[in-house]
Structure 1
């Protein structure tokens, strides 16, 4: 599996006129080797070069499993890890660099002339990660199934007077009971007018009758991320709440219906946005329609008006239209879709119709 992934990245590099790459993003290193390390301020790098095994330059504080799909070059806190990198690359060849390579390491490498030139080339890995293999697809399905199950539990936490922060504080325990490792991102729990802020952080706001209740939540399971949003109402929905919720649901459906190989990301975004504009709420849909997802909850490649590339089999991304009315309420409905050979598989099955809680 890892060997095939490295071969794909090396092929992508070749198409960019490069033969060597320094990967520093921990999740990309995990994707290529099976080794996951969060190095903090210490150097971490994987060198890919032709006719050589991937070589991980790793601080001795950390360890790689015996079956890691790479060679390991260890260094201590008093060693210079960049000298190891310099030994592994060719001063006569350009070096592809990771977008996450910190300047405190990149600039010294440049100053010592470790390569002929330095080229931003992490898209060679990003493109490979965007096309999920069968093992990854299974992991994404499992994480989303857990997220569906968790949403049913989360809504039961809601009652009059409870705060957003009190609800948010109980979510991780439920995820762990269901077999997940924890959150894939900090959960968003929004009541009432707070739901008009798409990235609201849960606070001491107490739930009151008539409030909308928005959950934007995701778990990490077997290292892969889930992400889903549902919006409920505490009590009987008002006609306006019903109208807005129905508009967002139809926008979600219109976008999902368009997802298949060859459809452009920008056209998928347009399908959802058109529904919201036709209902008169266009100015209140204030963000892109979605993002790609996998080992990271947000991966390169968004679903937006400016991304005109076609979707391809194996890609997995969110569809999350929303309407946000400042001072009133907001509604977002988000699902993950996996592009298949002839269409798409929707990874979330939790109901999208308006529903009450409490």
Structure 2
């Protein structure tokens, strides 16, 4: 296992007075072991203990590297997984369970009296993952470089009459050409009034003159995600659309300017939201300002008015204000940032200038 990351998780377990823990989230197990596997209905669990008695539970059908740095406990289909777990856990102590551990394994473990009591302990891993180490930061940069290159190539491929689905397919093709491993999420492409619909799924809507073109895309590289949104216009842009675009850009850049260790997430959100509200569009900014990102596109923690936590160096999250006018238009501008010692590094270099495509 990655010893530094393991020590971070064990440190949070100690802080929360959790002597032992079961981790079943595949991305959390990957974070600690470098081994990523999605087990479907079979049990896949990493047991951590304050005593160092760590073990990983694996089905014989899994293809597993020889050295994971942790003792392997194998089981085959038909074996009682809960009994195997209960043979390892300390029945006289509290047991932390992550939020993804299926009830079909947890309830039998409880019947075996696998611990004195149980608690949800995901935050011990979530807190550790929230601050990216140098290796993770470089992987985030690499994924964002591919995303930037994709977005940079898109304007010349956009033409009047094409559909949202066609443009989404072009994004996927570009990712393959640029060396991405996959997507963080399905490309979100929205033309005209569709851009005002939250998380609109691409359909056969055809692009026409005067439409806004909202493009929210993300790829993966070496198991780490990227995410970026830009909004363009076709052939013309109205004064109303220009006003909205400039407001969203101001909100995006103002929020990024206040990021530094010690600032509260809610205050970053407020910085962007106040700009949009002052112009009369408060009801049209319908979502939080951002979300944390890393191995998963949406990780624990967000940039919202409800989050009073202070940001720390190494955290990575999105800044994505938007204004959405139903039946008319929608604009969102999104970057990813990594918090530095005295500010932030903006991972996306793609221009935020208002672009009207010919």
State TM-score, norm by structure 1.
Answer: 0.98
* Superposed CA offset, 1:168-203 (max 9, x none): 122222112111101111110000000001200001
TM-fit CA distance, 1:57: 0.6
Structure 1 residue aligned with 2:50: 50
- Within-5 A mapping of 1:1-358: 2-52=2-52, 54-358=54-358
CA distance in 2, matches of 1:79, 1:170: 47
Size of the alignment, in residue pairs?
358
Partner secondary structure for residue 107 of structure 2:
helix
Q: 1 CA distance for matches of 2:130 and 2:275?
A: 28
Q: Residue 51 of structure 1: CA displacement?
A: 3.1
Shift of 1:248: 0.1
Contact 2:82–2:106 (CA under 8 A) maintained in structure 1: no
Q: CA deviation at 1:68?
A: 1.9
The answer to whether the 8 A contact 2:148-2:348 is kept is yes
* Greater alpha carbon shift after TM alignment, 166-175 vs 211-220: 166-175
Cα distance, 1:53 vs structure 2: 5.1
Moved more, 4-13 or 79-88: 79-88
Output one character per residue of 1:247-291: Cα deviation in whole Å (capped at 9) or x when no partner: 000000110001000100000000000110111111100000000
Q: Which runs of 5+ in 2 are unaligned?
A: none
Are the counterparts in 2 of residues 212 and 232 from structure 1 also a CA contact under 8 Å?
yes
- Contact map agreement 2:97 2:118 (CA 8 A) in 1: yes
Alpha-carbon distance in 2 for matches of 1:33, 1:167: 37
Q: Report the Cα distance in structure 2 between the residues aligned to 1:229 and 1:165, rounded to whole angstroms.
A: 17
Q: Hey, what's the Cα distance between the residues in 1 that align with 2:159 and 2:69?
A: 50
**1:113 Cα shift?**
1.0
Indicate conservation of the 8 Å contact 1:246/1:353, yes or no.
Answer: no
Normalised by the length of structure 2, the TM-score is 0.98
1:40-96 per-residue CA deviation (whole Å, 9 max, x = no partner) reads: 111111000133353111111112212323222111111122222112210001100
CA deviation digits over 1:87-122, x for unaligned, max 9?
A: 221000110000111112211111221111111011
- Give structure 1 regions of 4+ aligned residues with deviation exceeding 6 angstroms: none
